[in-house]
Amino acid sequence: MERSLRCLALVGFLLAALPLATMADTPPAAVTAQASGYLTPPAPLQALVDAPRPPAVSISPHRDLLALTQAPALPGIDVVAQPELKLAGLRINPRVHAQSRFLFGTDLWLLDIASGKDIRLQGLPRPLSIATSSWSPDQRFLAFNQVDAAQGRNELWVVDVATHTARRLTALPLNTVAGRGYRWMPDSKQLLVQLQPEGQGAPPVASTIPTGPNTQQTQAGSGVKAIRTYQDMLRNEDDARQLEYYLRSQSALVDLDGKVTPLGEPALTLAISPSPDGRYLLRERVERPFSYLVPVESFPRRIEVLDRDGKLVKEIAHLPLVEGLPTGNDAVPTGVRDIDWRADAPATLVWAEAQDGGDPARAVEIRDLVLMQAAPFDQAPVTLAKLGSRYAGAYWGNGKLALIDEFWWKTRKVKEWRVAPDQPSQAPSLVHEGSSEDRYRNPGKPATMIDERGESRLLTAADGESIYRLGDGASPEGDRPFLDKVNLATGQSTRLFRSQAPYYEAALVLLDAEGKRALVSRESPSEPTNYYVRDLASNGPPRALTHFPHPLPQLKGVQKEQIRYKRKDGVELSATLYLPPNYDPKKDGPRPMLMWAYPTEFKSADAAGQVTDSPYRFNSIGFWGPQAFLAMGYTVLDHFSVPIVGEGNKEPNDTYVPQLVASAEAAVDEVVRRGVADRNRIAVGGHSYGAFMTANLLAHTRLFKAGIARSGAYNRTLTPFGFQSEERNYWQAQDVYQAMSPFNYAENIKDALLLIHGEQDNNSGTFPVQSERLYAAIKGLGGTARLVMLPNEAHAYRARESIMQMLAESNAWLERYVKQAKPAEGSGAGSH
């Protein structure tokens, strides 16, 4: 085995050295290597790209108003190609000292829930480009971040809700490199902001002549650590100085009349938030030494409490640089972790600390402590909970009621505890225990509300013992969202609402503390998502608040069905089958099909077989997923189950390829049996881990005539410290890494593979070189492939031109290698 692994490594090295070309020797029709400029797909696919998108919705603290922000059309490549810095895991637009974002809200208005009437706003900036928005705790104002990169503006604006007017709050520009850059103070009279420091001067200029090499060093004795493969790391001192320049911000308080009060000196602030009583500020800032291996979140950090003047009250922690963790997905850094204010107390900090050195391999009874420390922070922290696995967050109600979650990845076990924060010596009581994979028995998430200080709190009934839970309602018949009222003292649960066919309806927010009214979203296969008010005490129909039209009425006739079938090992599988409008399988015969999926690891075969999605959700035909090709006459099988199961002590990926192949075989057999797909004219595709799946299926089967793999990773030796959910490093599981890498089996890829990748992919592990090297291997081995590298695009593609290119390439590929393929004998397929 050792010799075979060395041979594989040698082959990989030789293939990596092959010259990179731009396309296969036999290009598909209508797509040529000599084509200049961006391509456009046929008109039915263009219509998907330009279809209107619904606005984003947020509810006010008093739960009587909605703020609606219109989603814009896709930006042009001129917008996406704006200057961008890639520093320590951050992507920064240097013109505006902001995270690189390109999809801004282009309109903003309010909706009165009682009357259902829209409220239009005056004085909004034009053109409007809203990055984020936030209600004041008293609901009198709505703040938003206006970013105009062309003009170099990053501004804070507020809407006066009573007068329906907007105004710029301050001319001083925000710094939103490490967050949204503003937050309401609890009294709603001021905002805590991060400003670009005044007098900072011009940005540092990179040296053109090196002053020496860039060096790194390690030494024996530090133990084995998992260092994931991150993108956009610092490369040299020039990068480090640029990071300091753009990350540095000035904290300040801004009054509603625009008065600015600076708080202390500028700092490399990652996060800052006020205590619920507004008397203190919790700040996290980074400092040198920086790292070339890990992102900014792992740099040395100081966690501090400041007063309202920005003066240091207490240093809570000084955390060192973290370059790697112990092996395992349950590994965490030591020291203060996940620190935040307790929402129901004036000024109390809560955080977790690992008791096992952060190493899941250590056998200990207590993994994490949950600790609290109250103002004035001069007493030792008290222990709120001792957990046998990792702290996973809290829901705060009052001094007698909070819920603490814990989770252990290795077993997928979850627990929820009830605690009394004001009586930490009182033993916690177990509320729920189960598996994170078991969707059928998921009790739902506790419902919350925004209190008078802007904090998210548990919504409790008048009895003080009952909370509300919102859940997906997964079941063998599909998801049926629910709303329950649960008495924590008795465990008795009362169902207040459950979605009923033929609609998919989900309760979003309770509009009162007694669970009598709820804001819900509602949709059906032919009706897009809209918002309603439902009276939970009656059986009457909900009252409509919005009336968003069907974005693509020409595709209203799309047929959708949730199907179930079995893998040969007995695992239950499911998928969503889509058929084009006016298509009758019995009359028209089987069609060419596009199948799309994303594999998922499980520790339980029963959980792996659970149904996901709902047959009653809107047939959303967008440009990103496979449903787009319904417009071109293909049948589509979306989200076909690809569970990779490893029960007990077995690891799922030890049998990845056999389980992957078995899942695909079962799906193909089922759609052929139903008469909706021609066995000889099926393509498979996926994005990211779905692209990895696609390449593997073409390497290990001849089930598909073609594959479309977008932004994937194909050589797992390039992600040697784990990938996706794989915990083991390459040296612990060499056979697994080698067997799972389709690059190692490139000679077996006999069917046509289209590889699409963003040139600036920012996702961990899916480096653009992954697609470049797989393409070079297939070309060098005489296979059929095409490589499309999209300029200025990251892991997901944003520019209208890029999306058009993606669709044009995919359509041409399917046309040549799938639609024009010879039909299976006896299929009865027509000319489609």
3-state secondary structure of 744: helix
Paired residues of 304 in beta bridges: 283, 315
Buried b (16+ CB within 10 A) or exposed e, 528-540: bbbbbbbebeeee
> Burial level of 201, CB count in 10 A (0-12/13-18/19+)?
exposed
3-state secondary structure of 136: coil
Residue 47, H or E segment: helix 43-49
Residue 517, H or E segment: strand 517-524
The vertex-769 CA angle with 644 and 699, nearest 5°, equals 40
Q: Which residues are annotated as catalytic?
A: 688, 761, 795
Alpha-carbon separation of residue 801 from 47, 352, 620, 791 (angstroms)? 14, 46, 22, 10
Residue 80 in tokens: 């996406």
Alpha-carbon separation of residue 334 from 317, 320, 324, 353, 505 (angstroms)? 11, 10, 12, 7, 43
3-state secondary structure of 10: helix
Which amino acid is residue 345, in one-letter code? Answer: A
Q: What is the CA radius of gyration of the chain?
A: 28
Phi, psi of 81 (to 5 degrees): -90, 10
Q: What's the CA gap between 55 and 528, in Å, rounded?
A: 12
Buried b (16+ CB within 10 A) or exposed e, 760-778: bbbbbbbbbbbbbbbbbbb
Which amino acid is residue 621, in one-letter code? Answer: I
Q: What's the CA gap between 512 and 683, in Å, rounded?
A: 50
The vertex-352 CA angle with 348 and 358, nearest 5°, equals 165
Residue 440 in tokens: 């059928």
Residue 448 in tokens: 């919350």
Paired residues of 573 in beta bridges: 565
Check: CB of residue 438 under 8 Å from CB of residue 419. no
Phi, psi of 457 (to 5 degrees): -130, 155
Which residues in 459-510 belong to E strands, given as ranges? Answer: 466-471, 482-487, 493-498, 504-510
Residue of 589, 756, 581 lying closest to 681 (CA atoms): 589
CA 748, 753, 759, 761 dihedral sign is negative
Check: CB of residue 562 under 8 Å from CB of residue 614. yes
Q: What's the CA gap between 191 and 184, in Å, rounded?
A: 4
Residue 740, H or E segment: helix 734-740
Residues 6+ apart with CB under 8 A from 739: 656, 657
Q: What's the CA gap between 137 and 189, in Å, rounded?
A: 10
Check: CB of residue 110 under 8 Å from CB of residue 117. no
Cis peptide before 127 (omega within 30 of 0): yes
Residue of 505, 482, 503, 479 lying closest to 493 (CA atoms): 482
Alpha helices in 511-655 (DSSP H): 585-588, 605-608
Residue 108 in tokens: 């903003």
Tokens 């799972």 map to which residue?
A: 740
Residue of 171, 343, 336 lying closest to 260 (CA atoms): 171
Residue 238 in tokens: 């020039």
Residue 713 in tokens: 């990773």
